[in-house]
Amino acid sequence: MTTEASHPTIASGDHKAYMEYALEKARLSPPAPTKFCVGAVLVDADKNEILSTGYSMELPGDRPGDPGNTHAEQCCFIKVAEKHNIPEDRLGEVLPKNTVLYTTMEPCNERLSGNRTCVDRILSLKGAVKVVYVGIKEPETFIGQNMSKKKLEDGGVIVEHVEGMEQQILEQEPEQAGLSQCLCRPLTGIDRD
């Protein structure tokens, strides 16, 4: 079971502060030339309570159907499912009805590995996630045009852009985060997975 440290207190509706916290999590992602370093924060919007956080490749591939290429959003969902001792596919049953997700990069709609996409994970929660706040649109580095916003909105999930952090998200300030590479989210590579 995964446990998380205490979270900062963030004012209700302070989308930039929540995105900054997601960026803090993204900086924990192991850098790789073929991966994006994404951070995510899952929040009960009614209680203004952080339910879980995640970052790219945070969790090992020791779960059924998971080869270890965990995405930030996926890690958030896995942690809440483990907390409630249920499989991830039943997570919609326990999430608060006004859950929102902050993610530094728009959720994936295609995974070259064939793994389940983050968009499909969100939509499978049966409306529990009402809004997805994104820091940046996924660059067309690995899969070309990402249609996640359209697919989420078609599924009844609002997608909002949190403006003003694009450069920070792309740069990740690796020297301050103790990383050895310039970008966790490179502008060349093969797979976001």
Residue 156 Cα to chain centre, angstroms: 19
Residue pair 108/192 in contact by the 8 Å Cβ criterion:
yes
Please provide residue 127's backbone torsions phi and psi, each rounded to the nearest 5 degrees. Answer: 85, 0
- Exactly one of 73, 88, 106, 138 is catalytic; which is it? 73
Q: Cα dist. 73→36, 52, 103, 181 in Å? A: 13, 10, 7, 23
Which residues are bridge partners to 132 per DSSP? 101, 159
Q: Starting at the earlier edge strand, list the strands of the sheet with 49-55.
A: 49-55, 39-44, 99-105, 129-136, 158-161
**Any catalytic annotation for residue 73?**
yes
Q: Based on the number of CB atoms within 10 Å of its own CB, is 157 exposed (0-12), middle (13-18) or buried (19 or more)?
A: buried
Catalogue the active-site residues. 73
